[in-house]
Copies of this chain bind each other. A is one copy, B any other.
Amino acid sequence: MDSFVAVPNGSDFPLNNLPFGACKFKSDVDQKTRLCVAIGEHVVDLGQLQAAGCFTGPILSQTDCFTKATLNGFMGLGKPAWQEARATLTRLLSSGEGLLRDNVALREAAIVPQAEVEMQLPASIGDYTDFYTSKHHAFNCGSMFRDPAAALAPNWLHLPVGYHGRCSSIVPSGRGVRRPWGQMLPLSASSPVEGPCQAVDFELEMACIMGSGNELGSPVSADEASSAIFGLLLLNDWSARDIQKWEMAPLGPFNGKNWATQVSPWIVTLDALEPFRCEAAAQDPPVLPYLQESSRHTWDVALSASITPAGAAVETTVTRTNLKHLYWTFQQMVAHHTAGGCNLNPGDLLGSGTVSGPEDTERGCLLELTWGGKQKVALAAGPDGGVVERVYLADGDEVVFRARCEGGPGGVPGIGFGECRGKLLPCGYSKR
């Protein structure tokens, strides 16, 4: 099906995507936040459509959820509301439907070029959890820091290992992030020092956003999770490796991680991802009953990370991997997270952990790509063929993640996630 809104070939946002986000119109005097979906190179302001009575279905005609400042209320309405919104928007935006197409005033007010808006965080995130679900990533890290013969921790094959993250420092794509100051133990030193982090890394992750929540004390099964997860997006778990290494035993990462986490602006719904569903990795040994799935699946999402080194005009793709490589599914993460009764709320963010694949070229962070600093990554420095090398990131380097689902069955157009982009700014404090 085509839209009356132009969708360039290969766009991340054809009519079968319709990812949800939040934006501000650059032209708005009051800079209010507007909820929207993406189509081609435009955003569609859902609040204006709702105010104009375009959502005529049984659920969405009874609420003003799209006129609010966050998507959380809409997400909390549950999957029937999400599917009703998708059906209504698919119809409204299709070439054959005149209701919006022929209402010039509404169409021009509500459908705005992406260049004329500033994307915001796509949800109000009350709690953020980061998991560690790539076996390749866990094996690589365990091999570097412990012992290749016992690279995986004893619990790793039995549960999706995760830890609570910091919400306040989650920033949208496009925002610069500042190299952190911190405490670290220099190699061969006996006492720690403080100073700017010397090992700024990215972690290429995907994350899910919870739609439906659960009450405290009421676990969600993996099967139920399929209809509780609203959608997926990209996540850069910016990491300060030297700070992290010194602080993390025994209570886990803290200042190594909490200075910035960056997400892409668009939540691609599970309904849009449905044609790209695929089997998830086989699990051996079998998992405990609370982690079992009657229809174990993930999605075939090709991921990449690229770096434009400081001063360069071109980017170099440093890794290409795929969501399907993960050992644990998002549904299992939800089941584990809630197994003890922990309550998830609409808008909560669950990161997958670094998505690394089986090949050397599929490693999702510089720690792995450089094997702990032992081998450098070469980046194009300019159109003349010059090259710069990196172990970790330099001030001014810009990191961009992209994600695409290609080649749906039956000619379903491929869909994408937009970018998760951030530039590393110099540490703000030369001494303390």
Contact = CB atoms under 8 A, between A and B. Distances in A.
A288 B248 CA distance: 18
B164 A164 contact: yes
Given A181-B340, A251-B161, A127 B166 contact: yes
Contacts of A219: 181, 429, 432
A8 interface: no
Contacts of A95: none
A166 B168 contact: no
Given A194-B289, A288-B194, A255 B339 contact: yes
Interface in A389-432: 428-429, 432
A3 interface: no
A155 interface: yes
Interface in A129-167: 132, 153-155, 158-159, 161-167
Q: How many copies are assembled?
A: 2
A24 interface: no
A282 interface: no
A49 B154 CA distance: 59
Nearest to A178: B217
A117 interface: no
A191 to B, nearest CB: 7
A288 B192 contact: yes
Interface bin, chain A: 35 or more
Nearest to A292: B432
Nearest to A247: B155
A163 B340 contact: no
Contacts of A263: none
Contact of A158 (B192, B197, B253, B339): B192
Given A183-B158, A428-B218, A340 B167 contact: no
Main secondary structure of the interface of A (DSSP, over half): loop
A194 B194 CA distance: 43
Interface stretch (A73-81, A323-331, A341-349, A357-365): A341-349
A336 interface: yes
Nearest to A353: B251
A199 interface: no
A268 interface: no
A202 interface: no
A57 to B, nearest CB: 30
Interface in A235-291: 240, 243, 246-255, 258-260, 285, 288-290
A191 B194 CA distance: 42
A34 interface: no
Contacts of A153: 249-250
A164 B339 contact: no
A161 B247 contact: yes
A169 interface: yes
A168 B216 contact: yes
A182 interface: yes
B432 A191 contact: no
A340 B158 contact: no
18 contacts: A154-B185, A159-B192, A161-B247, A168-B342, A168-B348, A169-B342, A180-B339, A181-B219, A181-B290, A181-B339, A194-B289, A216-B259, A243-B340, A251-B253, A255-B339, A255-B340, A255-B342, A258-B340
Given A178-B216, A240-B340, 14 more contacts: A158-B183, A161-B251, A163-B252, A167-B167, A168-B342, A171-B216, A180-B339, A180-B340, A181-B219, A181-B290, A181-B341, A182-B339, A248-B250, A259-B340
6 A-B pairs with the lowest CB-CB distances in the bound complex, closest first: A252-B252, A180-B340, A164-B164, A163-B251, A259-B340, A258-B342
Interface of A: 126-127, 132, 153-155, 158-159, 161-169, 171, 178, 180-183, 185, 191-194, 197, 216-219, 221, 240, 243, 246-255, 258-260, 285, 288-290, 336-337, 339-345, 348, 428-429, 432
